[in-house]
Amino acid sequence: MASQRILAIDQGTTSTRAVMFSAAGEPLAASQTPLRQIYPADGWVEHDAEEIWQATLSVCRDVIAKTGGIDGVAALGITNQRETSVLWNRVTGKPVMNAIVWQDRRGAALCAALREAGHEGVIQNKTGLLIDSYFSATKVQWMLDNIPSARAAATRGELAFGTIDCFLLWRLSGGRVHATDATNASRTMLYDIHQGQWDDDLLALFAIPKSILPEVRDTAGDFGASDPALFGRTIPITALVGDQHGALVGQACFEPGMVKSTYGTGCFVLVNTGTVALPSRNRLLTTIAYRLKGETTYALEGSIFNAGTVIQWLRDNARMITSAGESEKLAAALDDTGGTGRVYFVPAFTGLGAPHWNPHARGAILSLTRDSSAAHIVRAGLESVCYQTHDLLTALRQDGIVAPPALRVDGGMIANNWLLQFLADITGIPVERPVYAETTVLGAAFLAGLGRGLFSSLDEIKAAWRLDFRAAPRMAEAQRRTLLEGWQSAVRCVMR
Ligand code: ADP
């Protein structure tokens, strides 16, 4: 008999991937398809849910074929772009329109009206979220209000809503299972993360009928099985998890205070807060990290809008580097000039997030001298990602997160060792890079393995996590303080 394997689907914003893992969590093969972005109007972003479904089928079939066939595929897990919303007809199986993607801002006016009407406190208390059109609620409300006859069909019980995990589960199960998991539910702005249930008051506020909502299950457990017609025989579906939450699991951050930080286009930091749902006074989000055997673990989440975008800007706009990797060589070749004469790059391309929260701020390169070169500006760009992480950790500290033992990092930027060392130096926290950096999809596989009993506990998953590189803080405290003061005065310069 073929040895047991775990199939994990990673349905992301720009691509759909499947990775086959061994039962021990070792990656065996991967397959990926890019996803078409649809921009119907300014600030609107859509995906074709049928295209997502076809891509999912095709990447799954591809990795199954590459790894010896369906025998031995013991579990299937899904991780997904969060908040993106699909509304479909339960009878025909057809989506009523394209999926509205998390980035889509068409709900912004609805959100502004809710803020104006004073609903922010109640919504934050119940959902852990700040009122924003990123979350699913206003997307669903928009569909019900703007697709002809959708509201009437919903009232007759003919429509189903789901985030991407839920839509894929429904399709994979041949329309038998309409369910999501607690992490995905926690991003809809309709779910009470403390009570663990859809909230009737919020449903009334957004005029969303309860009949369209999926059942909310544990993150790992029984989600039914795939239809035998799809892959030749059934595969038990045993985990659904939102992408950032998947990465937290893939980084084995299971103890309160453990942090994962993802450095891609933007940067997403999640801190495990255990069984406590910590409210934020710094406009960070309280979210469900995972729910296992009915027990909810919570996390605090903060994001930095511009991380990898700094490197893209240096390459594509300023043309100071020809590849992202070149940034490391340039930064490493410079003498360390300490605090004096240091160039600062504040990448506030789209404003500044936590803890500054200034949407009007714009980017700037400061403290140039006659000696400054492109290399100094490139280094300042890399440093800005680390300074912003420091600021985010300061906000987390103010919310009660003290001295994380390490920052477990992932995402495209972590190939850069110079960046990781400066990150450790400026935050004063050791930085850890795992051997397998695709932590999101690994997290889905770990959870699917847990749901199927291939892993017996989180401790077993913890033991499967492997360290590749560790950067320990080694900068003198005085230098660190001087550099941070320079950064803070640079940030003050861009505030409007
Ligand atoms: P996303 O998932 O958000 O699309 P990725 O995790 O793939 O992003 O990361 C891509 C980002 O990482 C890009 O912005 C790229 O410029 C940056 N990047 C890739 N390699 C390096 C490197 N060696 N040094 C710094 N940045 C890098």
* Cα 433 to averaged position of ligand 1 atoms, centre (Å): 15
Angle at 366 between CA 364 and CA 368, to 5 degrees: 135
What amino acid is encoded at 80 in this protein? N
User: Are 423 and 384 contacting, i.e. CB atoms less than 8 angstroms apart?
Assistant: no
User: Are 75 and 152 contacting, i.e. CB atoms less than 8 angstroms apart?
Assistant: no
User: Are 283 and 357 contacting, i.e. CB atoms less than 8 angstroms apart?
Assistant: yes
32 lines ligand 1 (CB under 6 A): no
Ligand 1: which atom is nearest the Cα of residue 410? Answer: 6
Predicted pLDDT of residue 339: 59
* Cα 411 to averaged position of ligand 1 atoms, centre (Å): 7
**Mutation pick for ligand 1 pocket among 265, 315, 349 (CB with most ligand atoms within 8 Å):** 265
Predicted pLDDT of residue 338: 59
Predicted pLDDT of residue 403: 83
Q: Which residues contact 59 (CB under 8 A, 6 or more apart)?
A: 9, 16, 17, 18, 31, 32, 33
Q: How far apart are CA 219 and CA 229, in angstroms?
A: 26
Predicted pLDDT of residue 3: 81
Residue nearest to atom 26 of ligand 1 (CA): 413
Phi, then psi, of 125 in degrees rounded to 5: -60, -40
Predicted pLDDT of residue 358: 81
Predicted pLDDT of residue 361: 87
- The pTM score is 0.93
417 lines ligand 1 (CB under 6 A): no
DSSP-based three-state secondary structure for 397: helix
| Chain centre distance of CA 147 | 29
* Cα 268 to averaged position of ligand 1 atoms, centre (Å): 13
327 lines ligand 1 (CB under 6 A): yes
DSSP-based three-state secondary structure for 15: strand
Residue nearest to atom 15 of ligand 1 (CA): 308
Give the right CATH number for 5-243 from 3.30.110.40, 3.90.220.20, 3.30.420.40, 3.40.50.970: 3.30.420.40
* Cα 301 to averaged position of ligand 1 atoms, centre (Å): 20
Residue 148: CB atoms within 10 A of its CB come to: 8
325 lines ligand 1 (CB under 6 A): yes
Q: Quick one: which of 377, 411, 76 has its CA closest to 226?
A: 76
What amino acid is encoded at 186 in this protein? S
15 lines ligand 1 (CB under 6 A): no
According to DSSP, residue 349 is labeled B
Predicted pLDDT of residue 12: 92
* Cα 416 to averaged position of ligand 1 atoms, centre (Å): 9
The dihedral region occupied by 283, where left means phi > 0, alpha psi between -120 and 50, and beta the remainder, is left
Predicted pLDDT of residue 340: 64
Predicted pLDDT of residue 336: 72
Residue nearest to atom 8 of ligand 1 (CA): 264
Residue nearest to atom 1 of ligand 1 (CA): 264
Predicted pLDDT of residue 350: 80
Bridge-based pairing state of the strands 5-11 and 73-80: parallel
Radius of gyration, CA atoms only, the chain? 23
Question: What tens-digit pLDDT sequence spans the chain (496 residues)?
Answer: 458 999 999 999 889 999 999 999 999 999 999 999 999 998 899 999 999 999 999 999 999 999 999 999 999 999 999 999 999 999 999 999 999 999 888 999 999 999 999 999 999 999 999 999 999 999 999 999 999 999 999 999 999 999 999 999 999 999 999 999 999 999 999 999 999 999 999 999 999 999 999 999 999 999 999 999 999 999 999 999 999 999 999 999 999 999 999 998 889 999 999 999 999 999 899 999 999 999 999 999 998 888 999 999 999 999 999 999 999 999 999 987 655 679 999 999 888 887 888 878 899 999 999 999 999 999 999 999 999 999 999 999 999 998 899 999 999 999 999 999 999 999 999 999 999 999 999 999 999 999 999 999 999 999 999 999 999 999 999 999 999 999 999 999 998 7
Q: What b/e readout covers 310-337, taking b as 16+ CB neighbours within 10 angstroms? A: bbebbbeeeebbeebebbbebbeeeeee
Domain residue ranges of the chain, discontinuous segments joined by +: 5-243
* Cα 263 to averaged position of ligand 1 atoms, centre (Å): 7
Q: Which residues contact 166 (CB under 8 A, 6 or more apart)?
A: 86, 178, 179, 180, 184, 214, 240
